Structure 1
Amino acid sequence: MPSADYFTSKEHEDKLNAYKKFAENVAITLGATSSEAEKQIDEAIKLEIQIANITEPSEGRRDYETMYKKFTIEELTNKLPEFDWLKYLTETFSAANITLTTEQPVVVYALDFLTNLVQILKVTPKKTLANYLVWRIIMNRVNNLPKKYRDMKKDYHERIFGQQSETPRWRECATFVADNLGNAIGRLFIANYFDEEAKKSAKEMIQNIREAFNELLHEVEWMDSSTIEVAQEKANAIVERIGYPPYILNDTVLTNMYYHVDYQSDFYFENVLTTIKWNAMINLKQLGQPVDNEEWLTPPAVVNAFYSSTKNEILFPAGILQPPFYSKGYPKFMNYGGIGMVIGHEITHGFDDKGRQYDKDGNLKQWWDDVVIERFKNQTQCMIEQYGNYLVPEANMNVRITSTFHSSMPPFIN
């Protein structure tokens, strides 16, 4: 389901029924009787509705300073004794041969949610919990199952989102390879399609746009001079990553990234499970290791750009430094209107409602005073109301300014 309110709002009752039917059809195809599927899926979805009811709306989940809570496992256990956190985490990390103690620090971003969740788990039958977990795993991997399962998902999506064209199988396979073997694909991509001149041009544009941004800060009426000064320091400290990480040109490094991947040409689903296990192992083994600031957050062939609050860095993969966003054959004004627009957009993420909570070094720290924050919130609320009044005549609906607003919000306006 697209969001928690689809489980809880009467407005979406027909979509919830479509979701139930999807789950029942999958269960029946896997061998359950019609009556048993209906009964067990109904209980699992009742649990999912309970979870949806305690889920913080997406807007609230962007207040990282409020949400961030750090405990030891012992402290978390004292707060939420109904759940055996040490056993759960120990079992999880044992796959990576990592031993945990009660002194291990853990960061919790949803303490209220966990508090409510453990109460739900206490009174929910184990069979319902098992059915719910199995269903969530199956739903997550439907695209990797045979066509009859994918057709069920397609029918469900048509009920939820309207008529949709089916993604060609070749594209799904190409996407899977690109998502999971991104650096290997990236090595081939940059060898065949990336012009090194793009890196030099992008670096020059970033510097010019950064300077223009710093000048515009002086026109922001709701910021005081001291905040503007610190904002400029943060803008100047933004690290740019352009094109690709140098380490993927090293054959040894690239080979070591995939040494444990053993794909079999006749076992597609097993290959998917191998990839999931491999990715999980990489993440688990990072516990206790120093942060690698040179590691890229995305592979080179991706057609997108990114800003990281915790690293205060902007990242422009080789995939987006291509037409129509950029070409060395374009006049400068076209490149500034293409990739230049993207550069400016990513820089502003360091100062939007999420980025403002992190300082120039990527630490979660309030560097705006309360007065400036209040002015910022008033300014953004004004924009929400302005765009929320726009009517889409074809749908007879006003524009909904919620989850998409933060990604498109230009925060530095007067």
Structure 2
Amino acid sequence: MRRTLFAAPAALAALTLALAACKTAPKKPDHDAPLPPIDPTALDRSTSPCEDFYQYACGGWIARTEIPPDRSSWSRGFAELTERNARQLRRILDAAGAAKTPPPEPFAKKVGDYWASCMDEATIEARGLADLQGEWARIDAIQDRPVLADEVARLEAAGLDVPFNLTSGQDAKDATQVILLVYQGGLTLPDRDYYLTDGGKNVEIRQRYAEHLRKMFALAGLPPAEVEANASAVAQVEKALAETHWTRTEMRDPSRLYNRVDRAGLEKLAPAFPWARLFDGLGRPDLRAVSVTTPRFVEKVGAMFESAPLESWKAYLRWRLLTTMAKARALPRAFVDESFRFTSASFSGAKALRPRWKLCVDATDDALGFALGEIYVKQHFGADGKERTITMVSEIERSMSDDLGAIGWMDRATRAKALAKLGKVANKIGYPEKERDYSSMTVKRESYFRNVLSAGRFETARQLAKVGKPLDRTEWLMSPPTVNAYYEPSLNEMAFPAGILQPPFFNKAAPEPVNYGAIGMVVGHELTHGFDDEGRQYDGDGNLRDWWTPPVSKAFDDRARCVADQFSGYEVLPGVKVDGKLTLGENIADLGGLKLAFAAMQAARRTAPEGEKVEGFTPEQQFFVGYAQSWCSKFRDEETRLRVVTDPHSPPRFRVNGPLSNLPEFQAAFSCKEGNAMVRPEGKRCEVW
């Protein structure tokens, strides 16, 4: 249920983005240099800010920027900042790999060994299929359903969804309890619709996927008859699983996802599945507290466990291991190339394989991100970024309090509970105070394949160990170097990792209005998530509970419907529109975040001297330009189509123009008039918070 500011390119495994090519600049850009507070070269002054503000703020950048060949998208904000971060992290990792990390860093050796094993392509090629064949031998040896259950448990313990997605989390109706959460999972394609509908390019993608399955099994050494049988079995199993998945819009309803069944309920939902063997294999035979997100998915898995041919299950397990390791690039280059070919043609449109070092930066951060983050914070995170963000969070929370006090559609009882929830929001800024203990993770340089499985086992065991124990509210859900932010409703907390507290989001050299428009909006966005269509269903303690009176709840729904309808009208490609229901929470958060950040800026300016113009912009204009320029982006068509199906965030153009067209503050700043495209008609203007 965590709500983030930004979603990674959905066809890729991690956030780090590659070097931008530039049509007009022959020199390679310096990615270690901070971005200017307001970039005049990014502007398109031939476009009226009142007609298309995104084009006005970003048109120059869009015209001169090419998406790097190894990327499906590129952006001035997240991509360029993540590129700088990746280079900083690589220097740290190179030092750790060479045992040159300054002490005391207790897990520096594990960080260095994991990084070195990932970077050692020669050893990966030399090991060939040895590691995969060793794992497959266990699958090949399965002769009955009980042993099949043991192998499912072993792979689940290593972090593979085969087919369950298992993690720990709070009981949605008693946030003091940590329970096991069983999510729907087990698919290779990004969404159920790719298996079940013929819209868009889905038929073509399914044909490519069938070919991809055959090629990958052939590369793994199966004879032609077994290649066809395995590929066909995988497609059938995954389609059957997809038929039970709820849609992404349905998965946005917290009440729908809460189904506390416990162990007895699991056995009732799927009596044919040997749950005791699964929990024994996971190392938690005593685990009893369980909630499932999608009961019909669990029912189907149980029925398939009993009825589907044993050879179909074995093919499916082989495939899940094979594709996971190919995407991790823990197999020889032929597998990597084929995985890239399929992903590029179907989902990303990337023209070249991503440099290995960038993948390994992300892989090490995924596996040991909090050990890596300790070193990163010491070297690259200044106190000024944390202190200024703390101040800005307080200012924006004060704006939210003022806003709640002035909203006419909220009655006294609901307002009091909303203010109580706001007062309980916990804020995490920069990095955790408590270190994560990686002492139980095994990392050895000789096999990256085994290290990937070891990292999965560590994280699964760590998650399962939390079930039944007191809730740890100090835990972070993102590592310190992450260029993102989140709000978690079950904890009623916001987090802003050190990675995002850099230009263009926070720039200590920038005029304050620019920072309010960039990092201030980020803070306001995450805070608004606590009161969006999902977050509003949780109280101040993180419990899923209806604390709204019926008239106020209806008034909220009416305002939210306005936002959903507005964004559903935006066309991103010919015939392809934004899904206003899927993106509703993020659109509400963008609209609220801008309003709160602007109010906080204006409140601060009342006690400060009048700001100076920058690049000809007044302080109010600087706020909006600073916001828009942090979202300048380009996408390949394949990536755009994928995001419309899978991403709860609207495309950046509409994240800028959509909310701004509802804000009188924006229209006043640029003297926009009724009839301009950036001014929604009086009866169609949307406002939630």
Tell me, in whole angstroms, the C-alpha distance in 1 between the residues paired with 2:453 and 2:273: 28
Aligned pair partner of 1:234 in 421, 426, 436:
421
Tell me, in whole angstroms, the C-alpha distance in 1 between the residues paired with 2:579 and 2:219: 38
Is 1:33 paired with 2:223? Answer: yes
Tell me, in whole angstroms, the C-alpha distance in 2 between the residues paired with 1:43 and 1:22: 14
The residue that corresponds to 2:501 in the other structure is 321
Aligned pair partner of 2:400 in 209, 213, 229:
213
Q: Secondary structure at the match of 2:459?
A: helix
Aligned pair partner of 2:361 in 163, 168, 174:
174
Residues 73 and 86 in structure 1, CA contact (< 8 A), matched pair in contact too: no
Residues 310 and 363 in structure 1, CA contact (< 8 A), matched pair in contact too: yes
Tell me, in whole angstroms, the C-alpha distance in 1 between the residues paired with 2:527 and 2:537: 15
The residue that corresponds to 2:259 in the other structure is 69
Mapping of residues 5-84 of structure 1, within 5 Å: 5-11=193-199, 12-84=202-274
1:301-325 CA-partner distances (Å, limit 9, x unpaired): 1111111111111001111111111
The residue that corresponds to 1:359 in the other structure is 539
Residues 427 and 493 in structure 2, CA contact (< 8 A), matched pair in contact too: yes
Q: Secondary structure at the match of 1:56?
A: coil
The residue that corresponds to 2:586 in the other structure is 407
Residues 210 and 235 in structure 1, CA contact (< 8 A), matched pair in contact too: yes
Q: Secondary structure at the match of 1:6?
A: helix
Aligned pair partner of 1:293 in 473, 477, 480:
473
1:78-108 CA-partner distances (Å, limit 9, x unpaired): 3432323233223222xxxx4427xx22222
Q: Secondary structure at the match of 1:10?
A: coil
Residues 64 and 109 in structure 1, CA contact (< 8 A), matched pair in contact too: no
Q: Which ranges of structure 2 fall in alignment gaps of 5 or more residues?
A: 1-188, 593-686
Is 1:119 paired with 2:311? Answer: no
AA of the residue aligned to 1:226: A
Deviation (angstroms), 1:114? 1.7
AA of the residue aligned to 1:389: G
Deviation (angstroms), 1:275? 1.4
1:169-223 CA-partner distances (Å, limit 9, x unpaired): 1101111112211122211211111111222211111111111112223454543
Is 1:201 paired with 2:388? Answer: yes
1:11-62 CA-partner distances (Å, limit 9, x unpaired): 3111011111111111011111233212321122112111111111111112
The residue that corresponds to 1:269 in the other structure is 449
Q: Secondary structure at the match of 2:495?
A: strand
Q: Identity, % of aligned pairs?
A: 30
Tell me, in whole angstroms, the C-alpha distance in 2 between the residues paired with 1:262 and 1:132: 27
Tell me, in whole angstroms, the C-alpha distance in 1 between the residues paired with 2:290 and 2:346: 37
Deviation (angstroms), 1:402? 4.5
Aligned pair partner of 2:371 in 178, 184, 193:
184
Tell me, in whole angstroms, the C-alpha distance in 1 between the residues paired with 2:245 and 2:349: 29
Residues 492 and 540 in structure 2, CA contact (< 8 A), matched pair in contact too: yes
Greater relative contact order (CA < 8 Å, ≥ 6 in sequence): 2
Residues 65 and 365 in structure 1, CA contact (< 8 A), matched pair in contact too: no
Residues 40 and 128 in structure 1, CA contact (< 8 A), matched pair in contact too: yes
Tell me, in whole angstroms, the C-alpha distance in 2 between the residues paired with 1:342 and 1:235: 17
AA of the residue aligned to 2:250: G
Residues 192 and 242 in structure 2, CA contact (< 8 A), matched pair in contact too: yes
Tell me, in whole angstroms, the C-alpha distance in 1 between the residues paired with 2:407 and 2:300: 42
Tell me, in whole angstroms, the C-alpha distance in 2 between the residues paired with 1:314 and 1:64: 18
AA of the residue aligned to 1:194: F
- Superposition TM-score, scaled by structure 2 size: 0.55
Q: Secondary structure at the match of 2:504?
A: coil
Residues 564 and 580 in structure 2, CA contact (< 8 A), matched pair in contact too: yes
Q: Which has the higher helix share?
A: 1
Aligned pair partner of 1:376 in 529, 533, 556:
556
Measured at CA, do residues 223 and 131 of structure 1 come closer, stay the same or move farther in structure 2, by a change above 3 Å?
farther
Deviation (angstroms), 1:227? 1.5
Q: Which ranges of structure 1 fall in alignment gaps of 5 or more residues?
A: 249-253
Tell me, in whole angstroms, the C-alpha distance in 2 between the residues paired with 1:184 and 1:24: 40
AA of the residue aligned to 2:238: E
Tell me, in whole angstroms, the C-alpha distance in 2 between the residues paired with 1:296 and 1:204: 21
Tell me, in whole angstroms, the C-alpha distance in 1 between the residues paired with 2:584 and 2:256: 21
Aligned pair partner of 1:346 in 510, 526, 534:
526
The residue that corresponds to 1:278 in the other structure is 458
1:111-132 CA-partner distances (Å, limit 9, x unpaired): 2322233233332111111211
Deviation (angstroms), 1:224? 2.7
Is 1:154 paired with 2:340? Answer: yes
The residue that corresponds to 2:567 in the other structure is 387
Residues 327 and 335 in structure 1, CA contact (< 8 A), matched pair in contact too: yes
AA of the residue aligned to 2:310: K
The residue that corresponds to 1:397 in the other structure is 576
Residues 309 and 355 in structure 1, CA contact (< 8 A), matched pair in contact too: yes
Q: Secondary structure at the match of 1:156?
A: helix
Measured at CA, do residues 187 and 105 of structure 1 come closer, stay the same or move farther in structure 2, by a change above 3 Å?
closer
Measured at CA, do residues 260 and 105 of structure 1 come closer, stay the same or move farther in structure 2, by a change above 3 Å?
closer
Deviation (angstroms), 1:267? 1.9
Tell me, in whole angstroms, the C-alpha distance in 1 between the residues paired with 2:409 and 2:241: 39
Number of equivalent positions: 400
